[in-house]
């Protein structure tokens, strides 16, 4: 029997502005694409699923094509396996901030690791109260004054790092990882 890997998929810019999709439709689309054990987490475009494909980038491309073809939703998808996301959690460069204010610690899952010079400049060059560090294909950003009013938006982060990504706060990252580790049971409804 082929080995199935549990993947965690993060869709970019879902349920923001006019780009809305119901999580039951997203879950049904994932099942129709042939993924197994499809579950959603919250309403921000987070999926947990299993597949025989060993390459997370191929899973991401399949999800992107399926979202476009089945849902009319053109978006990038960042995919990690459970072990990778747990490593990201373990390597958080801001553990105290995560403990004190987890909803204002953003993890940006990037399509690819940025160039070392871009990662170093990002860590040293943020103009506001935010702090940022890059760990592999992930940027961690603290927002002590809140995310909504900050000028350090996702497009600015992407421009600084030279790659696309999608952000989730620390609570969401941990919740998706926990669901990825959990045994498969009845389908979850929306999170």
Chain-centroid distance of CA 70 in Å reads: 21
pTM confidence score: 0.90
- The CATH code that applies to domain 5-81 is 3.30.70.1280
Residues 58 and 5: beta-carbon distance below 8 Å: no
pLDDT of 191 higher than 50: no
How far apart CA 146 and CA 23 sit, in angstroms, is: 27
Q: In terms of pLDDT, which residue wins out, 14 or 188?
A: 14
- Can you give the pLDDT at residue 127? 78
Which CATH fold would you assign to the domain 85-173?
Answer: Alpha-Beta Plaits (3.30.70)
pLDDT of 188 higher than 50: no
- Can you give the pLDDT at residue 37? 92
- What's the N-to-C CA distance of the chain in angstroms? 31
Count the residues in the chain: 191
Strand partners, 45: none
Residues 151 and 3: beta-carbon distance below 8 Å: no
The three-class DSSP label of residue 10 is strand
pLDDT of 155 higher than 70: yes
* Span of 14-18, 39-43, 159-163, 173-177 with lowest mean pLDDT: 14-18
Return the domain boundaries, the chain: 5-81, 85-173
Token digits of residue 168:
């989730």
pLDDT digits (tens, 9 = 90+) for 10-59: 999 776 666 677 888 889 999 999 999 999 888 778 999 999 999 999 99
- Can you give the pLDDT at residue 43? 75
- Can you give the pLDDT at residue 15? 64
Half-sphere exposure of 113 (CA within 13 A, CB side): 9
CA dist 140 → 60, 95, 98, 183 (Å):
22, 11, 10, 28
How far apart CA 54 and CA 135 sit, in angstroms, is: 23
Q: How confident is the model at residue 102 (pLDDT cuts 50, 70, 90)?
A: very high
Token digits of residue 190:
């929306």
Token digits of residue 176:
């998706």
pLDDT digits (tens, 9 = 90+) for 105-151: 999 999 999 999 999 999 887 878 999 999 999 999 999 999 888 99
């Amino acid at each position: 029997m082929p080995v199935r890997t549990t993947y965690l998929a993060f869709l970019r810019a879902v349920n923001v502005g006019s780009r809305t999709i119901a999580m039951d439709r997203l879950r049904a689309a994932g099942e129709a694409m042939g993924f197994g054990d499809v579950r959603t987490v919250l309403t921000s475009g987070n999926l947990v699923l299993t597949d025989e494909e060993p390459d997370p980038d191929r899973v991401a491309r399949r999800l992107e094509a399926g979202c476009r073809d089945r849902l009319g939703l053109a978006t990038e998808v960042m995919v990690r396996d459970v072990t990778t996301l747990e490593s990201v959690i373990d390597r958080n460069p801001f553990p105290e901030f995560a403990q004190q204010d987890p909803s204002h610690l953003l993890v940006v899952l990037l399509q690819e690791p940025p160039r070392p010079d871009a990662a170093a400049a990002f860590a040293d060059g943020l103009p506001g109260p935010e702090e940022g560090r890059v760990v592999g294909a992930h940027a961690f950003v603290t927002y002590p004054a809140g995310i909504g009013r900050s000028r350090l938006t996702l497009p600015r982060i992407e421009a600084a790092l030279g790659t696309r990504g999608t952000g989730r706060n620390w609570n969401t990252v941990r919740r998706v990882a926990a669901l990825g580790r959990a045994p498969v049971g009845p389908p979850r409804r929306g999170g």
